[in-house]
Amino acid sequence: MSELRHIGAISEGVALRWFGVASFEVMHAGRVLLLDPFVSRAPDAQPPLPGGGWRPTHADAILVTHGHHDHFGDVPELARKLGATVYLPADLHAQRSLFLRLTGRNDEEARWRPWTRGGRVELGGLVVEAYPLHREERQARWLQRAVRQALRRRLTARGLVEAVRLTATHPLAENVGLHITHAATGASIFFLGGLTRQVRNLPEQPLAVDVLALPLTGNSEWWLDDAVGLILLLRPRVVLVHHHDDWCPPLTRPVDLAAFRHTVEERCGVPVFEPSLGATFTLEDLLGVAKRSSQRPQQAPRAGRSNG
């Protein structure tokens, strides 16, 4: 119970909202942080956003994990409109800095800051550390899967345009995981924006992770094994799922959350929290999931299969 009280302390004044894909709004101590904000959600995406869309009106900082369109494509315009500081991987920072210089917008460059390994940024009582991660991209396989799904679901003209756009903006990309710690209590969230195979280059010393924000970008057996391996490695108390929505039909499809939940709870003994699109939830809600799970009889977790 002492561990649960420890998690509860972080929830004071911390609220979150999920807006599809990996987009989160985090509010704490009067600050607003946007994580991988994506406002160009397709009108036929499922589930639909309440009110028909998301248009942020304020942000103190925008945190970017990698350069794929659904994580970074809307960031430049949002940063310009909101005047927010942007923290992003080094490859994106270099590209953006060059663009701003070439277009004579040098005054904006100071607001674009690269993530560095071991670098710490404190934002409204939350300490953010970035960990560069290796993601094994499967570009050809991703495209093949998208084409198969599009053909099965009858690709429209708009879908064809989306296919071309996503193909052009889904390159091999640097990626970071964000370790967000509540400075007053030490409780933490580890946020991953995308997961396409094995996550490597985690710190040698295990991270303290109370909440693992895990993107469900696939539902094949090998992906589940990799996700389970990561959960067993980090040992979070709660898994917060995201990126499981059908955000760009017919190129995408929703992930089977029931199967994922069953697998994780059976093999890892860790509860899964599914946020409602556009609804505010708190870390107190996450604590409630952990508390209810701890009160149920638990089977011994099964070891996950290693991928070598």
Residue bearing the bigger pLDDT, 152 or 247: 247
Q: Where are the domains of the chain?
A: 2-294
The Cα 245–Cα 217 span in angstroms is: 9
The amino acid that residue 3 corresponds to is E
pLDDT in tens, 172-226: 557 899 999 888 877 789 999 986 555 666 666 668 899 999 998 765 566 788 8
The Cα 284–Cα 9 span in angstroms is: 9
pLDDT in tens, 87-137: 999 989 999 999 999 999 888 999 999 998 777 899 988 999 998 876 544
Give the 3-state secondary structure of residue 41.
Answer: coil
Domain covering 2-294 in this structure, CATH number: 3.60.15.10
Question: What pLDDT score was predicted for residue 308?
Answer: 35
- Model-wide pTM > 0.95: no
* pLDDT band with cut points at 50, 70 and 90 for residue 161: low
Taking CA atoms, 182 is separated from 41, 78, 115, 161, in Å, by 30, 26, 19, 42
Cis peptide before 250 (omega within 30 of 0): yes
Torsion of CA 286, 291, 295, 297, to 10 degrees: 40
End-to-end alpha carbon distance in the chain: 36
